[in-house]
Structures are given as C-alpha cells and as structure tokens.
C-alpha cells in the first residue's frame, strides 16, 4: 500500500481509540521524546528524523494526528503498541509440535525502522513479527474500508489480528478486537470472529504445517472453588431437567451467586443444625451436586480480585463459541488497566492451573 494511504489508515484507526488509550499514547510519545508540550524547544538538539513534535495547545486527538504527520517515530511507536496493547477477545490453542511451529514462525524477522504499509492486506497474507522474553508475536494487519450508509462518511481501520506464542505452557493464542458493524455486511456480522479464527487456523496448516488444537478450558468452571482470589460472578446454565438459568452476583460485594451460591452459603452456615437431619442435608447436597456437576455451562464470568478494586480483572469464557470446539475469552473494558499484562496474567493462570484436578466436588 502507498505510504500516504497507509498513514491515513493509521490516523483513522488511532482516532477510534478511547480517550484512555489516546492519553496513554501521548504520554508515551512525551516520555520517549517524540512529542513535547513545552512551547520553547530552542535548546533542544535536532537530528533529522528525531525531531520532537510540538503538541502544545492542541486537543487530545490533534496531538496524536500531529505526531503521525510529523514524526516517523510516532508511527513506529503506534505499530509497536499494536503488539503490546490489550485486546477484547482471545482464543487459546495447543499443537503437537510447538517447538517446530515456533521455529518456523521465528523465521519471520521483526521489521526495523520501516512502516508496515507493505504488510496491510484484506486477508491474512504476510505478518509482522515482534519478540520479547518468553513471547513471540505475529501481527496480521487487515485493511477495512466502508462508507456510512446515512452520513456518507468514509471509515478506514487498520485491524490487527495478533498471534502470540507463549513459550511457557507452549500455547498459541489469537488476540483480536471488536470490528465495527459499519465494516460488515448483515451476512458476515454474526460469524466474523469465527471466520477470522478459521482463516488463521488454515494459515497455520498451510504455512507452518500445524494443526491447532483448542485448549479445553472447562476446568475454569470449578477453579474458583480452590482459589479464593478468583470469584465466579456470573454464569449461564443448562440444567439437567432441560431448563435454563442465568445467574449474576449483581452488586453483591461478597460475590455470592443467587440460588446456587446462596444455597451453598446456607449449607456452610448451618452445619450444626443440618447434622441433626442428615437425610435432609444429604438431599440438599445431592441437589446441589446435580445442579452444578450435571449442568452444561455455555459461559461463565470470573473476576480476578485486586485489593485496589478498580484494578480487578473481569473475564468472560464462552465455551463452544459458535458451536466450535474452542472457548472465546472476552476481556471487559477497564478504565484503569491498559496493555497486555492482564491478558498475559490470565494465560499464565491457565497454564499454572490447567492440570489441577478441579472436577471433584468439594
């Protein structure tokens, strides 16, 4: 793609970011000497290509646009941010020969001091690579363009689809964001994410001779029983009797699910009284067992608590997404948390606990 067109894609992509992310990027630009809000820059040393962009007296969005137009380093920083940012969705796979697949991926070398305009396509063609300790990344840039049917406004977006190789645990993860409806036809909208996952799985077969195997995350339904720092805050249940139930803790600060959680609390709080009526207690426990162990769980929501409440991490697990064998992980928006760290934390948690025997009723 021609560079001027690519920069327009980059600009309009950044303009769609939340103010939280925009502020973070501007802060990064200032810290790395890409931009400054100081009006007097006469004492600064100017080197071609390394000039500091004056963003004083500009709005937040104008600050980013100005940097993109005036500094290559700003463009490079934005492209790097797409490797390090947090994404809305994630899917995790394993494979039979992780080391061999990773070695093939590492033959794709990271770019140095050049824009990604030759790596922007309408399908998965050539990725851009990035490496950091314990991780190897492949970023596939997809170009989407559309005209709003009512306003006739032009929409452009550079949509990164990230593949993350986790050396610890030997996992392969797909990360991707919400794609605005304006870029999708009514026919494509319901299946866009499952289609992207299928296309990337096919890419792995063709280019890496690798058949991806979805990681079974069913154990996450029970993990909170062993870890008090993880709370089950919502779940959908298909009950043994054919009924359906959707439970949510709401504003309950003790994170007790209605019905199931409340019954369990009653059992725990009234052990002495129930010992006097063992048949009734056994009937209650059998009922609880059947409700929990014999039900199917289309999705659950877990909360990794932080003592600073605003930094807690809320995550939804959608099992058998779109009737596929993988689990779609959805990260809820946070006003505070930013960057890939919270995604990496959940993956590390899964790696550390996936072999736990959490299927036994406690």
Contact between 358 and 180 under an 8 Å Cβ cutoff? The reply is no
pLDDT (mean) for 53-64: 94
At residue 359, the pLDDT reads: 45
Q: Is the pLDDT of residue 31 over 50?
A: yes
More confident residue, 49 or 348: 348
Task: Report the percentage of the chain scoring pLDDT > 90.
Answer: 62
Token digits of residue 183: 């870029």
pLDDT (mean) for 4-12: 96
d(C-alpha 142, C-alpha 123), whole Å: 6
More confident residue, 19 or 272: 19
Q: Which of 39-43, 105-109, 176-180 has the lowest mean pLDDT?
A: 39-43
More confident residue, 278 or 260: 278
pLDDT (mean) for 115-124: 96
pLDDT (mean) for 127-143: 97
At residue 259, the pLDDT reads: 55
Q: Is the pLDDT of residue 164 over 70?
A: yes
Most confident of 106-110, 264-268, 295-299: 106-110
At residue 255, the pLDDT reads: 53
At residue 86, the pLDDT reads: 94
Contact between 330 and 87 under an 8 Å Cβ cutoff? The reply is no
Q: Is the pLDDT of residue 133 over 50?
A: yes
Q: Is the pLDDT of residue 281 over 80?
A: no
Strand 120-121 versus strand 135-147 pairing type: parallel
At residue 202, the pLDDT reads: 98
pLDDT (mean) for 253-258: 53
Contact between 175 and 162 under an 8 Å Cβ cutoff? The reply is yes
The maximal CA–CA distance of the chain, rounded, in angstroms, is 86
At residue 158, the pLDDT reads: 98
User: What is the per-residue burial (b if ≥16 Cβ within 10 Å, else e) of 210-228?
Assistant: bebebbebeebbbbbeeee
Task: Report the percentage of the chain scoring pLDDT > 70.
Answer: 84
Q: Is the pLDDT of residue 245 over 80?
A: no
Angle, helices 72-84 vs 60-70, to 10°: value is 110
The torsion of the CA quartet 17, 173, 302, 334, rounded to 10 degrees, works out to -20
Span 192-211, pLDDT tens digits: 999 999 999 999 999 999 99
Span 295-345, pLDDT tens digits: 566 899 999 988 888 888 999 999 999 999 999 999 998 888 888 999 999
At residue 226, the pLDDT reads: 85
pLDDT (mean) for 123-129: 97
């Amino acid at each position: 793609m021609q560079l001027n067109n690519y920069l327009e894609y980059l600009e309009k992509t950044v303009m769609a970011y939340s103010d939280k992310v925009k502020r973070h990027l501007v802060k990064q630009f200032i810290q790395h000497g890409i931009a400054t809000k100081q009006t007097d820059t006469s004492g600064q040393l100017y080197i071609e290509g390394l000039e500091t962009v004056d963003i004083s007296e500009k709005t937040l969005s104008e600050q980013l646009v100005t940097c993109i137009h005036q500094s290559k380093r700003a463009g490079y920083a934005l492209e790097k941010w797409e490797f390090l940012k947090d994404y809305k969705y994630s899917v995790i796979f394993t494979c039979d020969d992780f080391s061999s697949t990773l070695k093939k991926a590492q033959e794709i070398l990271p770019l140095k001091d050049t824009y990604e305009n030759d790596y922007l396509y309408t399908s998965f063609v050539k990725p851009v690579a990035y490496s950091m300790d314990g991780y190897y990344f492949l970023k596939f840039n997809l170009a989407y363009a559309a005209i709003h049917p009512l306003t006739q406004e032009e929409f452009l977006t550079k949509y990164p689809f990230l593949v993350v190789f986790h050396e610890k645990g030997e996992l392969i993860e797909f990360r991707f964001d919400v794609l605005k409806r304006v870029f999708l036809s009514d026919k494509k909208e319901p299946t866009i994410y499952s289609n992207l996952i299928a296309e990337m799985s096919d890419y792995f077969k063709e280019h890496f001779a690798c058949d991806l195997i979805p990681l079974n995350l069913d154990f996450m339904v029970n993990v909170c029983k062993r870890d008090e720092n993880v709370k089950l805050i919502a779940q959908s249940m298909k009950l043994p009797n054919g009924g359906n139930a959707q439970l949510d803790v709401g504003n309950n600060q003790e994170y007790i699910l209605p019905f199931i959680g409340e019954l369990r609390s009653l059992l725990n709080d009234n052990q002495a009284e129930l010992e006097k009526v063992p048949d009734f207690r056994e009937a209650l426990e059998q009922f609880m067992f059947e409700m929990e162990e014999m039900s199917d769980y289309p999705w659950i929501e877990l909360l990794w608590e932080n003592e600073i409440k605003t930094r807690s991490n809320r995550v939804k697990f959608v099992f058998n997404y779109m009737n596929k064998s993988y689990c779609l992980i959805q990260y809820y928006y946070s006003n505070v948390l930013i960057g890939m760290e919270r995604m990496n934390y959940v993956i590390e948690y899964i790696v550390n606990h996936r072999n736990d025997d959490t299927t036994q009723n406690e």
